[in-house]
Amino acid sequence: MKSAHLLPRIAGFAALCLATAAAASIPPPPSAVDRAQNDDIAWKITEDLTTEIGPRMAGTEAEAAARKWAVERLKAMGFQNVRDEPFAMPTWVRGEEEASLIGPFHTQPLAVTALGNSGSTGAKGLVGDVAYFASYDDFLAAPDHYIKGKIVFIDHQMAPAQDGSGYGQYGRARFTGPNAAAKRGAIAVIIRSIGTDSHRNPHTGNTNFEAGVAPIPAAAISNPDADQLVRQWRRAQSIRTKETPLGYTPAPLRMKLLLTPRNLGQQQSGNVIADVPGSDPAASPVVVACHLDSWDLGTGAIDDAAGCGIVTAAAKHVMTAGQPRRTIRILWAGAEEVGVHGGRAYFAAHGNQKHAVALESDFGADRVWRVDFKLPESAKSLADRIALAVAPYGVTRGSSPASGGADIGALVRAGVPAIDLRQDGTRYFDLHHTTDDTLDKVDPVQLRQNVLVWTATLAILANSSDNELP
C-alpha cells in the first residue's frame, strides 16, 4: 500500500525527493501532494452537500441553502474572505410532466422531463402527431409543412466518448432545437435525451428561445423511450390509412404531453468565493472554479459537487503545506446550469482585475486523463513542470489549447490563461442532468486521483513567478 503510493511521488518529484533524502536524516514536512495522498476532503464536501442539501436548482430556496452551507463550510476549513456575492437571474422551475404514446398502438407512458426554459402545455396538456427526424440536420433540412402543427421528435446517435466530444454535436437538438421548431410552427419538441445510458431517466438541461419567440413545450425522453418511439414510428409508417394514386397515407403516431413549468421572474443567486491569501499581495490570483448549483432531478453529485470538492481540497492542501506566493481564489459559482449567470457575475465584478490563470472542474468525478494548456509564451517551462508533475498519475499532455470551463469562460475569453485538467467523460453522459446523478456514482479512488492532480498543479501555479504568468 505504502510503496504503491510512494511510487508516483518519487517519479513526479524524482530529483528533488532523492536529493533531499540523501542530504538530511530528518524527513521534510509533508508537501501539498503528500497531504493529498490520503485525501477525504473532496469526498466529504461531495457527500455532505448532496446529503444535507441535495438538489439545488438555481434561483430557488435550495440553492440559497446550499450557499449558506458553502459559506459555513469554507470558513470552517480556514479559508479567508469567504463571502456570498449575490446577483439576480431569471428563474424557471419544473411542474408536472407526463407524456404518452396514444396511437396507433396501445397507450404507453414515456419517461419524460422538461428542458430548462420549456414552455407550458397548460394544465390540460396537448395532443398531436409526431414528426420524426433521425437527426438535427434532418430536422433543419425538412420542409416547414413537416413541422407546422406537429410534435417534433429529434433523434440522434450520441455514443460515449472519453473526451465527451458528442455533446457539442448532438447537443444542438437540445440547445437550439426547440427555438428552431417554435419558429417553424411546431406545437412541441421532444428530443432523445442527450445521454448515453439505457435507463428510463431522461436528461434535462437548458434550452433557449430567442427574444420574440414564444417558448413551446420542450422535453427529453429517455433512451429506452426514444427507442420505443422509433419502433412505433416505423410500424405506424407501414400502416396504410388512405390509398392514393401516388401512394398511401401512413397512420400518424399520436402523443399526449403535459408539462407545466413556470417562470418565477428574477430571483437571487450568488457566487460563493473564498481565498487562500498569497504571501505576495501584488501577485495576481489563481482562480479555481466549480459550480454550486445543480439541476433539480438528482443531487448534483458529479455535476458539480465533486468539482467543488476537488478544487477546494487542492486549495486546502496547498494552503496547509505552506503559504503560497499567489492568492488562490476558490469560486463556487451559482446558476451555471441555467445560463452561466454566476460566471458572468464574477466577470462583471472582477474581470477588470488581473488574473494569473483560471481552471475549472466540471466534468464529473472520474480521473483526469489529459492536461491541456493555454498559456503565454513566458509559461513554457511552467507547463513543462506541470506536465511532469501530473504524468505519474496517468495524465498525458494534450496538444489542444485549453478551453476553460463555463464559469471561467468570460475570463478566458478576455485573455486570462487557462489549464484544462480533462476528466474521463466515458460515464459522464450516462448520469449528467438525470435523477441518477447521486453520490453512489462517485468513485472515491478516481476522485482522489483528481485531487492529487489538482494539488500538484495548483502547488506549482500558486508559486509561479510574475515572469511566467500575468
Of 224, 220, 225, 203, residue with least CA distance to 434: 203
Binding mask 353-372 for a second copy (x = CB under 8 A): --------------------
Identify the H or E element spanning 274: strand 262-276
CB of 178 to a second copy, least distance (A): 25
Distances (CA, A) of 100 to 97, 108, 156: 11, 5, 20
CA atoms in the 13 A half-sphere facing the CB of 317: 31
End-to-end CA distance of the chain: 41
Among 148, 199, 385, 397, binds a second copy (CB under 8 A): 199
Residues 23-52 that bind a second copy (CB under 8 A): 47, 50-52
Contact status, residue 394 vs residue 449, Cβ threshold 8 Å: yes
Question: Binding partner of residue 362 among Zn ion, a second copy, none, CB under 5 to 8 Å per kind?
Answer: Zn ion
Residue 162's CB is within 10 A of a number of other CB atoms, namely 15
Among 106, 211, 281, 467, binds a second copy (CB under 8 A): 106
CB of 443 to a second copy, least distance (A): 12
Residue with the three cell numbers 406545437: 187
Q: Quick check: 111 binds a second copy (CB under 8 A)?
A: yes
Rounded CA separation 164/426 (Å): 7
C-alpha cell at 247: 401512394
Stretch that binds a second copy, among 133-141, 245-253, 275-283, 434-442 (CB under 8 A): 434-442
**Residue (179 or 222) nearer to a second copy, CB:** 222
The alpha-carbon radius of gyration of the chain (Å, integer) is 25
Burial 11-24 (b: 16+ CB within 10 A, else e): ebbeeebeeeeeee
- Say if residue 437 is preceded by a cis peptide, omega within 30 of 0: no
Among 46, 204, 207, 232, binds a second copy (CB under 8 A): 232
Dihedral of the CA atoms 147, 148, 149, 155 (nearest 10)? 20
Question: Binding partner of residue 303 among Zn ion, a second copy, none, CB under 5 to 8 Å per kind?
Answer: Zn ion
Among 118, 299, 361, 463, binds a second copy (CB under 8 A): 299
**Residue (43 or 209) nearer to a second copy, CB:** 43
Rounded CA separation 280/285 (Å): 10
**Residue (106 or 124) nearer to a second copy, CB:** 106
Among 201, 312, 327, 450, binds a second copy (CB under 8 A): 201
Residues 113-152 that bind a second copy (CB under 8 A): none
**Residue (137 or 227) nearer to a second copy, CB:** 227
CB of 386 to a second copy, least distance (A): 35
Q: Quick check: 438 binds a second copy (CB under 8 A)?
A: yes
CB of 291 to Zn ion, least distance (A): 6
Complete DSSP assignment for 127-146: EEEEEEESSHHHHHHS-GGG
Q: Which residues bind Zn ion (CB under 5 A)?
A: 303-304, 337, 362
C-alpha cell at 203: 436528461
CB of 12 to a second copy, least distance (A): 34
Q: Quick check: 269 binds a second copy (CB under 8 A)?
A: no
Among 65, 126, 127, 387, binds a second copy (CB under 8 A): 65
Measured in degrees and rounded to the nearest 5, phi and psi for residue 279 equal -75, -20
**Residue (50 or 193) nearer to a second copy, CB:** 50
C-alpha cell at 434: 438525470
What is the contact surface with a second copy in residues (CB under 8 A)? 47, 50-55, 62, 65, 105-106, 108-109, 111, 198-201, 223-224, 227-228, 231-232, 235, 298-299, 434-436, 438-441
